[in-house]
Structure 1
Amino acid sequence: MMEKSTETIRTAYKGNAKHEKSEAIAPGWMLRATEAVMQYYLDKNLTLDPCILQEFPKPQEGHQYMMYAHIPFCKTLCSYCTFHRFLFKEYKAREYFVNLRKEIQSVHDMGYNFTSLYIGGGTTTVLMDELVKTIELTRTLFPGIKEVSCETDPQVMGDPSISMLKGLVDRMSIGVQSFDDGILKMTERDKFGTGKQVFDYIQKAQELFPICNVDMIFGFHGQTNEVLRSDLAKLLELSPRQITTYPLMVTSQTKRSVKDKIAAPPEIMAEQYRIILDTLCHDYTQLSSWAFGKSNNEGFDEYVIDNDEYLGVGSGAFSFLGDTLYVNTFSLRRYNERIGSGRNGVERKRTFDKFNVLQYRLLLGLFAGRLNRRYFKEVHGVNLDRALFKEVLGLKLAGAIKENPDDPNQFIVTDRGKLLGLVMMKDFYSAMDNIRAELRKPLKESDM
């Protein structure tokens, strides 16, 4: 992997130009077929093997890395959430933060450096003083970090303590989901305030952080087009630097509780996606199938697009180094024991062959709105059209991509391609959530 690979990725996956009106999206049969193909490959390839890793592989000269840190605590647990999290207890959370900083120190001692830090959860801001100490340590150890991104919920924006993160966090991503009080109640997010209160919280947040990203979800059962348009109108009124519009993701962990209850059918999701494109692309550049920004060259939630390799710290964190996926233990007890005694937290891994890695990068290129032949040649040493002949041909026949007359290295991803990329990425993330569910299943009370 070449030293300029991250810059090659950023160049290849720049957002699309603004357009006036979306093209025809995709028929229902194509969406269902896409999901069936994705499910086949996910079932075949996305499996993990047990392991006890002594330490991460050494950093490779010329490679660039991003760090992900996981904070697995929430003061209340949403029933449909599939992320790795535990009910907050202060003494457990403080012990965890101490060990998280130990793990960060050990990664530094191995010789790693990072270009960016992404902090996810859980609720990252559950102990503000511990979060501040963790970010300060990380910035000190890794001066190569140019951007710190952090997730949180809207209610935190109304707490005066959020000002402690000013100057430490460059990009704050806020999980709003909807401004509609009915949707908030259905998804148990009314605990963070009414739609009006959430709107006011976001206005305050934009005064504190250089980049604010507002996370929204579409594809809810009962979320009419009028409700969606109202949410989009409020977003345009707020005018945040970034907007992310996730489709509702139903996994094996949640489908019993949400299927036919809060999840809309695929055809409605596709129609709502058309509305999102037609509304946001007048004022925003599209950064990926579901992310929009005022600028086309800044980081966003799907950090895997801009980073071939990333290292995760914390319980349940994922790392992708070289050709191998590593997963830290989901047991809070074992994480604290292993890190506290100077050992590594990884308990699962999967090494992929080159073809699997190329398929993965093809998915990310489609999802990001750009497929670039030069990236595959320079970073992976392959001719894209030959190495993934069937995949590229299938995307062309589906109307997802077409040749760019202005740049023979670059495909144009159509609006249909953006939707199919969104569907495939949704299925990929749902499969990752299924892995999380399987790894959490054997946890006992003593592990939490």
Structure 2
Amino acid sequence: MWTNWSGGLQCRPSATVRPLDETGVRAAVQRAARRGVRVRPVGAGLSFSPLAVTDDVLLDLSAMTGLVRVSGDRVRVRAGTTLAALNVALAGRGLALATLADVDTPTVAGAVATGTHGSTGRTGSLSAQVTALRLVQGGGEVVEVGGADLDAARTGLGALGVVTEVELAVVPEIVLRASQARLPLAEVLTPDYLDAHRWAEFSVFPYARPDSAIALARWADEVTDQPDPQSRANTVRTFVERRLVRAAAVGGGVALGRTVPRLVPTINRVATVLTGSGSVTDLAHRVLVAQPVVRWEESEWALPREALADGVCELLAAIKERELDVGFPLEVRVGPAESGWLHPAYGRDTGWVAVHTATGTDPEPLFTLTAEVLGAHAGRPHWGKRHPWTSAQVADAYPRLPDFLAVRDRYDPERVFSNAHLAALLG
């Protein structure tokens, strides 16, 4: 049985294949095509949506890792390489990704396929950094994707084929001074905060400080300083400890809130107060990436940037009005317009709003409310997170969907790479 990271998704594939190279991928796809069964690729299993769920063949790419080559400002990497491994490999060469997600356990191919993003209005998501990729098509042929088709493949949902290699634009290593502090919600919702830094995000607990909402803000700016090897360990430890205090408050608060739901508002206010302030200077991937302390289910929505403030405030008010027991904070990030045809930020500057529930609890009350409130602001769901969308909503929200489907017809006319979830999304 296959289970995703949160434990919320399971399936029993008829076969699980773990190819060692592209030849193995081709052989697996050709066998499946001959037998008339379907194939779904899977990376690290971090997605909360059932993109990888299948009763047929599950193609585990975890053995296809490592750099293929580095040439100037381009790096080619095998699809199953985790973001963590890629960050370390690039750092050893004085290079870095221009944008970083807040977790580094996903694989490169999985992060690209679902539109995984960071939080900066200046640099596009990992999908936007893709300059080429190789994939195995529905008949087992290998194609190097570029040109117009690249914008279909940038956020391909695994619907076009099995990606074996990804070429990404990279930049010289980035040293950031990352800071965190408690700030008024009204302040962090403004461009003066969100656009003033190379990277910025914030989180806010429902029910926290109802008289004057306080957000837990984190931001970072590039500096010319170099990390001090002598002091880095202590500095990073201090910064991480502050983050772990908050994480422990969240985790413990979730557990206590599940036992005594009426305490959730008080727990949220306490967690906000416990979060300290401070800063640390180090390589970007060392200060921006967080390690999960508890497991959760997640739904995330991409709003037009101009709707972000209203969307966040309305969602907080709706959670309070319905008295939902929400022990995790809302997390808010930003990003620029994307060119990927199915990227949730396609064609518009974007604000991202994520909500979470503890694994083992019913996420539907919060996720349904979030879809209603943020959907009314023209929100689009993150493909790797939980959402209720069907093909009619996708068609309304994505003007280049017909172009994507035309590419899919060429790459996978027999729908070897489909499953029930993709059929519901793409028709």
TM-score past 0.5 threshold: no
**Higher helix proportion, which one?**
1
User: Which structure carries more relative contact order (alpha carbon 8 Å, separation 6+)?
Assistant: 1
Return the TM-score normalized by structure 1. Answer: 0.25
**Higher strand proportion, which one?**
2
